[in-house]
Amino acid sequence: MSVLWVLIISYLLGSIPTGLIVGKLGYGVDIRTLGSGNLGGTNTFRTLGRKAGLIVTVVDALKGTLAASLPYIFQIDLNPMVAGLPAVVGHCFPIFAGFRGGKAVATSAGVLVLYSPLCFVVAISAFLITLYLSKYVSLSSIVAGIIAHTYSILFGDTTLSLVTFILVIFLIWLHRSNINRIVTGTERKISWM
């Protein structure tokens, strides 16, 4: 198995549109027509409820973990963070769903938990604290990414630092409309925390 094939498989894993599948099979709806139109966990939670949201979030994270595991599965010399990156791209721009996907959060977390569990714990803690204080999922996701990158600079290796930097830029770019709504005070807040 070549590195190129592993990267392609990673992208295809990330492209599995969990939110679309759960919406259509479990609820008879196309989630892209509901809420924000995104296929990620946040929109699923808001439009289809906790059970569907939890399923989508967990499966989306597992896509990242499985993609990061591919170098071990196929026994090739490729950093798991690099192997997982195409899965994040696939989640956001899935070939199986018209290139309209989620916003990289759960799949990125799935990649990170395999490669650096402690960095993942630090990032998820930052996410939950920010969510509790701000009630903004989007802001919490960005802060978690920045904290993961900061951790990688202080305690990680070069590859972890580089990939988390790319993921932070990706997160900020994908959440640019959310950032504008936070600034204007129109971003939706959660009510359950």
Tell me how far apart the alpha carbons of residues 76 and 57 are, in angstroms, rounded to a whole number: 29
Overall pTM surpassing 0.75 (yes/no): yes
The 3-state secondary structure of 133-166, one letter per residue: HHCCHHHHHHHHHHHHHHHHHHHCCHHHHHHHHH
**Residue 79: helix, strand or coil by DSSP?**
coil
Which residue ranges make up each domain of the chain?
A: 3-184
Task: Say how many C-beta atoms besides its own lie within 10 A of residue 171's C-beta.
Answer: 25
pLDDT in tens, the chain (193 residues): 799 999 999 999 999 999 999 999 999 999 999 988 899 999 999 999 999 999 999 999 999 999 999 999 999 999 999 999 999 999 999 999 999 999 999 999 999 999 999 999 999 999 999 999 999 999 999 999 999 999 999 997 899 999 999 999 999 999 999 999 999 999 999 887 7
pLDDT of residue 153: 94
pLDDT of residue 30: 94
Structure tokens at 105: 């959060």
pLDDT of residue 192: 75
